[in-house]
Structure 1
Amino acid sequence: MSKRNLGVALVTGASSGIGEATAERLAKVGYKVYGTSRRGAQAGQRSYEMLALDVTSDESVEAAVAELIRREGRIDLLVNNAGFSVGPAGAEEVSIKQAQLIFDTNFYGIVRMTRAVVPHMRRRGSGRIINIGSVLGFLPAPYMALYAATKHAVEGYSESIDHELRTRGIRVSIIQPAYTRTGFESNLLEPDLMLDEYRDVRMALAKRVAEAVEAGDDPSVVANTVLKAAMATHPKIRYTAGSLASRLRFLRRFAPAFLVDAGVRKDLGIDA
């Protein structure tokens, strides 16, 4: 794809992993890309600029978007990627404080970014918002309850606002990756309320998740899917990223529920 001026893109959580790969991919094809992280600019060669932005802070979001508008006068594409998880852990091991924190980043962070960017897109009569979801947004996994809940919230919010905003020339899409080699598993928070009853399964699942991530898709697979959604003349509301994600969505839609449930538990090594 030849490089041309495709507009201004803002990618949250762009210091590593999916966010970094996405920002680099968008810049390569012709977007003027601004990435964000809590720390802002960091050492290293990048094809895009970095802004300091904390998606859990109203003031930080408003300041970063205002700075970008001051520099460029427009935002054509917003990619909401920032997020984290707790676990694997039993749901009762995750404190209310941690539950609130994960929702504040993974869900309310998207709400904050969307609210800050949409007025500028609406005034121009065009724009794209792409939210990084997960296969856990349609196929919840045991011992990842809070993360799955945030991704379900992202699904509902994204589809709802796509109905609203398409009448203003703005479209919203969700990208649904499966296991991706991002170091995500090494940044998982430990639960606040660890219980002995869950110790063995917690340790076994942590090992299983680490192995699955190591064998997972490269972040470029997700980045290419983001680009596909961003460039589509008639974008879909949902895009799976990678062959595993596509298979899981197919199974979730067409296979009997008891078979899907059994498959999830077998894959994770959980007793019936």
Structure 2
Amino acid sequence: MNTITTKIALVTGASSGIGEATAERLAKAGYKVYGTSRRGAQGKRSFEMLGLDVTSDESVEAAVSKVIRHDGRIDLLVNNAGFGVAPAGAEESSIEQARSIFETNFFGLVRMTRAVVPHMRRQAHGRIINIGSVLGFLPMPYGALYAATKHAVEGYSESLDHELRTRGIRVSVIEPAYTKTPFDANFVEPDAKLDEYREARAHVSKRVNEIMATAEEPGVVADIVLKAASATQPKVRYAAGKLANRLRLLRRFAPAGLVDAGIRKDLRLDAALAPQARHAARAF
């Protein structure tokens, strides 16, 4: 069993991207880290990998129980596991697909939290850090379902922090913008495509790829996770990266109409409309 001076961290979705960078950063800072993925251990890392499916109650309980058996405590939970749907109209995903993305991105986070919090309450200490997104406070046209899950994460995190802070547990949400990870390579295609959205879908996908070419590295997010985990008085929200900080300030201080116009301009949404649709849009 580890001595109490060694902090124990559990990081979901740690096989690549933000999760892997976060687990590596925490291990370097002195945490004993357990990363998780559905496939378990793959390759040599500075932290141990556990097999865990956040959509399964049994899998979550088994992984958390294993950590508790080995180390007796969990000081930090980083909820990172998630996936997105490739750019598409909101009506191009079935109800089943909508449920699927919420099952992983939101309910998976809830499962992990429910499994870990009882142990943190007994310790009278703990940190829960949820990887959110700037899409938790901004809309994402042609990414409505993913944005909806991140809005849910924001509300859940802030509410939970109020509930748990008097028990020695703090909850923070990290809000990155575009980040260079394999995340977009693992997009799920919409399962109810409509020809009406074909042109706009392709246009927005192209624009997102252009933006991703200049995105920040996942280590930027990992550094903010460590900052939140180490803070004596942690904030509920941390923007991660230059773009995320600019967008947070814009959302807070700019007029709603300016933010709305900026989103459309950045994604070039009006250029993606068919000529007849542009004519109809101008009519309003």
Q: TM-score, normalised by structure 1?
A: 0.97
Alignment of 1:181-260 (within 5 A): 181-260=180-259
| Deviation for aligned residue 1:87 | 2.2
| Aligned residue type for 1:259 | L
Deviation string 1:103-122 (CA, Å, 9 cap, x unpaired) is: 00000001000000000010
Contact 1:185 1:210 in 2 (8 A): no
| Deviation for aligned residue 1:214 | 2.3
| Deviation for aligned residue 1:236 | 0.1
Partner of 2:142: 143
Cα distance in 2, alignment partners of residues 56 and 246 from structure 1: 31
2:229 partner SS? helix
* 1:154 equivalenced with 2:153 (yes/no): yes
* 1:36 equivalenced with 2:36 (yes/no): yes
Gaps of 5+ in 2: 271-280
Cα distance in 1, alignment partners of residues 58 and 83 from structure 2: 21
| Deviation for aligned residue 1:28 | 0.2
Cα distance in 2, alignment partners of residues 191 and 68 from structure 1: 37
Partner of 2:273: none
Alignment of 1:76-95 (within 5 A): 76-95=75-94
Partner of 2:60: 61
| Deviation for aligned residue 1:40 | 0.4
Partner of 1:51: 50
Gaps of 5+ in 1: none
Cα distance in 1, alignment partners of residues 128 and 158 from structure 2: 11
2:269 partner SS? coil
| Aligned residue type for 1:35 | G
Partner of 2:277: none
* 1:178 equivalenced with 2:177 (yes/no): yes
2:130 partner SS? strand
Larger radius of gyration: 2
| Aligned residue type for 1:138 | F
Cα distance in 2, alignment partners of residues 33 and 210 from structure 1: 33
2:142 partner SS? coil
1:139 partner SS? coil
| Aligned residue type for 1:186 | A
| Aligned residue type for 2:25 | R
| Aligned residue type for 2:269 | I
Contact 1:10 1:75 in 2 (8 A): yes
Cα distance in 2, alignment partners of residues 226 and 213 from structure 1: 21
1:172 partner SS? strand
CA-atom RMSD, angstroms? 1.1
Deviation string 1:78-129 (CA, Å, 9 cap, x unpaired) is: 0000001112110000110110000000000010000000000100000000
| Aligned residue type for 1:201 | A
Identity percentage over the alignment? Answer: 75
| Deviation for aligned residue 1:185 | 1.4
* 1:27 equivalenced with 2:27 (yes/no): yes
Cα distance in 2, alignment partners of residues 67 and 184 from structure 1: 28
Between the two proteins, the alignment pairs up a number of residues equal to 268
| Aligned residue type for 2:16 | S
| Deviation for aligned residue 1:6 | 4.4
Deviation string 1:24-59 (CA, Å, 9 cap, x unpaired) is: 00000100000000010012x310000000000000
1:194 partner SS? coil
1:233 partner SS? coil
Cα distance in 1, alignment partners of residues 14 and 140 from structure 2: 26
Cα distance in 1, alignment partners of residues 75 and 42 from structure 2: 24
Cα distance in 2, alignment partners of residues 97 and 198 from structure 1: 20
Partner of 1:7: 7
Q: TM-score, normalised by structure 2?
A: 0.93
Cα distance in 2, alignment partners of residues 213 and 220 from structure 1: 15
| Deviation for aligned residue 1:211 | 2.0
